[in-house]
Chains A and B, each alone.
Chain A
Amino acid sequence: MPITYTSNEQVEVYRFSIPAAILAPLIAVFLQAFVPLRFHFFSIFDLPLLVVIFFAVARRSPVTGLLTGAAIGLLQDSLTGHPLGLYGIAKTVVGYGASSLGVKLDVENAGSRLLVTLFFYVVHEIVYFTVARGLVGLTLQWSWPRELGSALANAFLAVLLFALLDRFKQRT
């Protein structure tokens, strides 16, 4: 499970075609809204979050990463009954953090992707819960076993999903 430290010159920066950059988040949000209707267990996954992490790490630009996170988060917020910004703020932080990490670390292999996703899922949940309880007044219950279980499930899914999304990468 190697995590290679690289300089800015060594890491590769990828870009994506416009259709891929638009459709991938949209499909992720769509699947997140549709699949749990048929398979309720699917709601433990957070596909939009995985897409945010993938784009942030691949582009390695903090500004692009945070804007991507904000956009996908707000899109996800739009489908919930809660005020806009809960997922937006959490995914903005994750987008910024993942892209900043991507600048310093080589996260192209499966092991590093698993760990990065595990870490950022927990960060995402902490930010979400903090904002939801502190700003909106929602009464959410934090459960470490549940959160870690979900984080692990998302991390394994991320390994598969990132391999699929790698096909849309374009070298700069």
Chain B
Amino acid sequence: MENLISRYRNVTILVAVLFAQVLGLAVQVRRATQDESTRLIRVWAVDAVTPFEKGIVWFQSSVTNLWHSYFYLRGVRQENRELKREIELLRIEQVRLNQDAEQARRLQALLGFREQYISKTLAAQVIGSSGSEQSRSIYIDKGSRDGIKPDMAVITAEGVVGKVLRAFRTASQVLLVNDQTSGVGAILEKSRLQGVLRGTPLGEVVLEKVMSDEAVQPGERVLTSGGDQIFPKGLPVGTVTKVSPGSELFLNIRVKPAADLNRLEEVLVITQREEKEPALAGGGLPIRAADILAQRLPSVPEKPPDDPNKPPPPTSGLKILPAPSAQATSGAAGIPNRKPSSTGATRQGQASSAGNTSPKPPVDSPGSAAKSETDSSATKVAGKPSAVKPATPQKTAPAAVKIPDSITNTASDSQSQPVPPKPDPQPKQPVTEPTPPQEQPQ
């Protein structure tokens, strides 16, 4: 036996070394699903390689900065002018977006919607790659010392890059989204179809698990769905480039990543996320459902001073009444609502229940008709300020949405015209202040 081994010494050693590695592979594959600690050899390898990478990247960026900051300044003035112009345009755009965002936040708050916010990010520089076409990962110059942990999301301004696979002390390994072992929960922006984004062996990105009977068009944007608990919802992932029938009833959707994964230089690591309800503007005062919804109601022309003897003209549906002053209130009280309109009056129940902070269901449903009727009349009788017009010190409550008797019986009459409301001296603004207790509906 000894002779045999010594005779075939080389082959024996080869078999032994291969066997040891195969055994090691098998153990790693078996433990892949468990919480695997980083192997020492990986730590050594990263510690041996990354300092050189960091040094070269630092030297390169220093030389580049020196050149661009002190020597190559051609065209900077022109660029500065163009940037200033662009800032002006963006400011205008920002005003509009702020309004939209504020409205969205208020609605989300009303619905008790809890949203994930990116509360803290860490900028990192890409210093290396895996060096293999079969494993698509990069190394960044921030590690556990800087607060980076495995499974943190890594993004750029363009879109999703990947997630932290391993965090070493001074560097981290990031698995790119085009690696075949990666997976990102994704959603198509327009069709809202959800799927799983995966990499292919050739480094492409495909969206899986979308049924073949769904219609997906090339050019549609793909966003993160938030379902993987790694990437916050709504981050851009890429754009659909090709759709073809796949295997097992699923579509084969090819996606071009939004971030250029072959030219990464700096990335952001999302180190902290918060799950909270959207903050409300205006000092966090509670905003009523009616205030929000009333902003979406159709505006009506100003009405001249009302003549009590004048019969109201026929209207088709929704009518916005002026502030319930003593005169208006008495008039309204005499017109009980019996039947909600099936068109514009669907929001009437919510708008009239201004004292409630929770939205009411639409009144066009049969079950809610009676309730909305009650709410509406009660609110009006009590002189409750509605959402369309803010309360004033003179107790002239703003316009309330109401369906008069004459309308409700002819709700389907499309030829009738709305009754012009009384003049409203105040601009129609949402009420953001809490309602006085004495004005609560009974």
Interface segment out of the listed B26-34, B102-110, B113-121, B250-258: B26-34
A50 in the interface (beta carbon within 8 A): no
Residues of A within 8 A of B173 (CB): 81
- What's the minimum C-beta distance from B7 to chain A, rounded to whole angstroms? 14
B49 touches A82 (CB 8 A): no
CB-CB under 8 A for A82 and B48, given A37-B128, A63-B10, A92-B17 = no
Please give, as numbers and ranges, the residues of chain A lying within 8 Å of B201 by CB-CB distance. Answer: 138-141
Expressed in whole angstroms, the Cα–Cα distance for A30 and B53 within the complex equals 8
Asked if B131 and A85 make an inter-chain contact with CB atoms under 8 angstroms apart, the answer reads no
From A62, A136, A137, contact of B14 by CB (8 A): A62
Q: Are B175 and A32 in contact (CB under 8 A)?
A: no
B14 close to A81 (CB less than 8 A)? no
- Find out whether the CB atom of B10 lies under 8 angstroms from the CB atom of A76: no
Asked if A33 and B25 make an inter-chain contact with CB atoms under 8 angstroms apart, the answer reads no
Contacts of B128 in A (CB 8 A): 33-34, 37, 79
**Residues of chain A within 8 A of B52, CB atoms compared:** 30, 34
B70 part of interface (Cβ distance < 8 Å): no
Distance to closest chain B CB from A166 (angstroms): 24
**CB contact between A80 and one of B21, B26, B135 (< 8 Å): that residue:** B135
Q: How far is the CB of B79 from chain A (nearest CB, A)?
A: 25
A102 within 8 A of B: no
Partner of B126, one of A37, A40, A67, A93: A37
In the bound complex, residues from chain B placing their C-beta under 8 Å from that of A37 are 126-129, 138, 264
Which residues from chain A contact B408 at a C-beta distance below 8 Å? none
Q: Could you say which residues of chain A place their CB within 8 Å of the CB of B46?
A: 78-79
> 1/0 contact trace for B138-150 toward A, CB 8 Å?
1100000000000
Which residues 14-33 in A have Cβ within 8 Å of B in the complex?
26, 29-30, 32-33
Kindly identify which residue among B13, B131, B165, B264 contacts A33, using a CB–CB cutoff of 8 Å: B131
Categorize the interface residue count of chain B: 35 or more
Would you call A135 and B53 a contact (CB within 8 A)? Answer: no
Contact B25 A135 (CB under 8 A): yes
Residue in A37, A67, A139 with the greatest tally of chain B CB atoms within 10 Å: A37
Residues from chain B with Cβ under 8 Å of A74 in the complex: 21, 41
Choose one: A26, A33, A85, A89; the contact of B139 (CB below 8 Å): A33
| A82 neighbours in B (Cβ, 8 Å) | 134-135, 181
Q: Is the CB of A76 within 8 A of B56?
A: no
Contact of B29 among A70, A76, A83, A140 (CB under 8 A): A83
Chain B residues within 8 Å of A67, by CB: 17
A78 with B22: CB separation less than 8 A: no
Task: Report the Cα distance A67→B10, complex, angstroms.
Answer: 11
Chain B residues numbered 246-287 whose CB sits less than 8 Å from any CB in chain A: 262-264
Complex interface bits, A132-146 against B, C-beta within 8 A gives 1, otherwise 0: 100111111100000
Q: Do A139 and B180 touch across chains, with their CB atoms under 8 A apart?
A: yes
Partner of A81, one of B44, B135, B202: B135
| Chain A: CB-nearest residue to B23 | A85
Say how far B51's CB is from chain A's closest CB, in angstroms.
10
Would you call B14 and A89 a contact (CB within 8 A)?
no
Does B130 lie at the interface of the complex (its beta carbon under 8 Å from any beta carbon of A)? yes
- Give the complex CA separation of A36 and B25 in angstroms: 27
Task: State whether A78 touches B53 (Cβ < 8 A).
Answer: no
> What residues of chain A lie closer than 8 Å to B263, measured between beta carbons?
40
- Known contacts: A137-B29, A138-B134. The answer to whether A79 contacts B14 by CB under 8 A is no
Contact of A84 among B25, B48, B126, B134 (CB under 8 A): B25
B131 contacts A29, CB within 8 Å?
Answer: yes
Indicate if B99 sits at the interface (CB-CB under 8 A).
no
- In the bound complex, residues from chain A placing their C-beta under 8 Å from that of B138 are 37
Which residue of chain B has its CB nearest to the CB of A22? B48
Chain A proximity mask over B289-332: 1 for CB below 8 Å, otherwise 0 = 00000000000000000000000000000000000000000000
- Counting CB contacts under 8 A, is A105 at the interface? no
Interface status of A153 (Cβ within 8 A of chain B):
no
User: Are B24's CB and A85's CB within 8 A?
Assistant: yes
Proximity bits, B388-415, A CB within 8 Å = 1, else 0: 0000000000000000000000000000
**Does the CB pair A43–B42 fall under 8 Å?**
no
Minimum Cβ distance to chain B for residue A140 (Å): 5
Does B35 lie at the interface of the complex (its beta carbon under 8 Å from any beta carbon of A)? Answer: no
30 contacts between A and B (CB under 8 A): A33-B128, A33-B129, A33-B130, A37-B126, A37-B128, A43-B131, A43-B132, A43-B133, A63-B9, A66-B10, A67-B17, A70-B17, A74-B41, A79-B45, A79-B131, A80-B130, A80-B131, A80-B135, A85-B22, A86-B25, A86-B134, A93-B14, A100-B10, A131-B25, A132-B134, A135-B22, A135-B25, A135-B26, A135-B29, A140-B134
Beyond the given A30-B49, A70-B17, A85-B25, please list 11 additional residue pairs across the A-B interface where CB-CB is below 8 A.
Answer: A34-B56, A37-B127, A37-B264, A62-B14, A78-B45, A79-B128, A82-B135, A83-B25, A85-B28, A92-B17, A138-B180
Of all A-B residue pairs in the complex, the 6 with the closest CB atoms, nearest first, are A78-B45, A80-B135, A32-B131, A83-B28, A62-B10, A85-B25
Question: Footprint of B on A, CB under 8 Å?
Answer: 26, 29-30, 32-34, 36-37, 40, 43-44, 62-63, 66-67, 70, 74-76, 78-89, 92-93, 96, 100, 128, 131-132, 135-141
